Amino acid sequence: MIFHLPFEPDKTRLSASQIRPYKMINAFQNVGYEVALVIGSAKTRKDQIKHIKKRILNGEKFDFLYSESSTMPTMLTESHHLPTYPFLDFGFFYFLKKNKIPIGLFYRDIHWKFKHYNVSFFKKSVSTLFYKLDLFLYKKLVDVIFLPSIEMKEYILELNSLKILSLPPGSEKPNFEIGVPKKKNDLKILYVGGLGDLYNLELFLITLTKLKNKNIQFTICTRKTDYELVKEMYDQYLEFENINLVHAGGEELKNLYRTSDMCCLFVKPSQYWEFAMPVKLFEYIAFEKPIIAVKNTSVGNYVKEKNIGWAIDYDADQLSVFFKKIIHNELDYNILTDNLAKDAQANTWESRANYVANCLKNFK
């Protein structure tokens, strides 16, 4: 198979757009595929494409191409963001289509369609034009579009004529035994991820601090650079001794998961959360931690459907009732943890790679 990525991922960055491609490449290899890469700068991709075209013209067979979009328009992914290789990637797609090699593309996000896409008017106008050009060319050249959630398709009606499937993030099983939460006097809740307009934890923090119950410990694990942008909003909550802030990664982060009882994705809902499926959701599942989510969001719907946590109305009173149930040990974890173990098994990166392969190999 061919793995196409119109940029060079930065392994030092922990964002989903940088991590996911490597996870998928490894997953395809783990399920038995020889992976031909078209990845990196335009100059690098040009050389890789030339080599793969030669292999195809010499009679070599490829089952399919799987591509992942950039968060930027395809033609603007060079460091200078100028369309200096306008026909490179889509020209390659056209060549593959002529040679009857199915093409599947994971369309990462559509921040550019929402108000929170906060860039200058000029930059927004130019980038929107190129984003729309991407959609136009996908419609002409791509066979299957994969989305983080199927709900997202309601926001890209331009692609309605294509086969559209859900392909949320995957996860990896932690390399230690996961303990089942036990009824006890104290309880630890963990949030891992970014902070900002799309990840607003204020209602959760306000409700928790009003309870004044030190037995419920809440830890926020976020990058220091992310926190610096929102510290004026969140510093006030760190005055409470049961609210903790850490900037952990690697083994330290694994230890946080190991010692936590449940995880939080109770963030302020917005239109974007109607379809967003963050990587951290599946990381929580991999660590088999029950999840606190917001009702009637894509995450909340998933948590409710799989019975792996609690989907609660975005309402302080409802959240307060939930916390009081925790305090009085009225929550039963056994069914949740059984379901989490099953769901973790079904949501590995290898399962995602197998799903893509089956969809594209059988594409007619």
The whole-number pLDDT of residue 223 equals: 92
Looking at residue 113, its pLDDT comes to 78
Is pLDDT above 80 for 152? Answer: yes
Could you give the percent of the chain with pLDDT greater than 70? 93
Q: Is residue 229 part of a domain?
A: yes
Mean pLDDT computed over 50-71: 96
- Whether residues 37 and 148 share a domain: the answer is yes
Q: What is the mean pLDDT of residues 132-154?
A: 94
Lowest mean pLDDT among 69-83, 308-322, 323-337, 345-359: 323-337
Same domain (yes/no): 323, 244: yes
Kindly indicate the confidence band of residue 216, based on its pLDDT and cuts at 50, 70 and 90.
very high
Is residue 200 included in any domain, yes or no? yes
Q: Residue 269 has what pLDDT?
A: 94
Rounded to two decimals, the pTM is: 0.87
Name which of 17-31, 104-118, 253-267 the model is least confident about. 104-118
Kindly state whether residues 355 and 341 are assigned to the same domain: no
State yes or no: pLDDT of 180 exceeds 60: no
What does pLDDT average to over the chain? 90
Q: Mind giving me the DSSP string for 240-275?
A: STTEEEE---HHHHHHHHHH-SEEEE-----GGGGT
Q: Are residues 302 and 332 in the same domain?
A: yes
Quick one: which of 90, 68, 78 has its CA closest to 22? 68
What pLDDT is attached to residue 177? 58
* Residue 308 within a domain: yes
Residues 354 and 333 in one domain: no
271 in any annotated domain? yes
Confidence of residue 91 (pLDDT cuts 50, 70, 90): very high
For the segment 13-23, the average pLDDT, to the nearest whole number, is 75
Residue with tokens 């302080």: 316
CA distance 145 to 138: 8
Answer whether residue 324 is part of any domain. yes
Return the pLDDT at 17: 64
- The predicted pLDDT at position 328 comes to 79
Both 315 and 356 in a single domain?
A: no
Q: Looking at residue 185, what is its pLDDT?
A: 67
| Chain segment 247-274, per-residue pLDDT in tens | 998 889 999 999 999 999 999 999 889 8
* Residue 183 in this model has a pLDDT that exceeds 60: no
Q: Do 149 and 298 form a contact (C-beta atoms < 8 A)?
A: yes
* pLDDT tier for residue 16 given thresholds of 50, 70 and 90: low
CA–CA distances in Å: residue 13 to residues 20, 38, 120: 11, 20, 25
Domain of 162, in residue numbers: 2-170+348-361
Shared-domain flag, residues 142 and 249: no
Cα three-residue angle 168-221-255, rounded to 5 degrees: 90
Asked whether residue 175 is domain-assigned, the answer is no
Are 18 and 130 contained in the same domain?
A: yes
What percent of the chain shows pLDDT beyond 90? 69
In a domain, 182, yes or no: no
Residue with tokens 């009637």: 296
Whether residues 164 and 300 share a domain: the answer is no
Residues 206 and 336 in one domain: yes
Q: How many domains does the chain have?
A: 2
pLDDT of 114 reads 77
pLDDT at res. 46: 97
Is 111 in the same domain as 191? no
The Cα-based distances of 172 to 175, 280, 300 in angstroms read: 9, 11, 22
**What is the C-alpha to C-alpha distance for residues 290 and 260, in angstroms, rounded to an integer?**
10
Confidence band, pLDDT 50/70/90 cuts, at residue 297: very high
User: What is the CATH number for 153?
Assistant: 3.40.50.2000
Residue 180 lies in a domain: no
Q: Are residues 151 and 193 in the same domain?
A: no
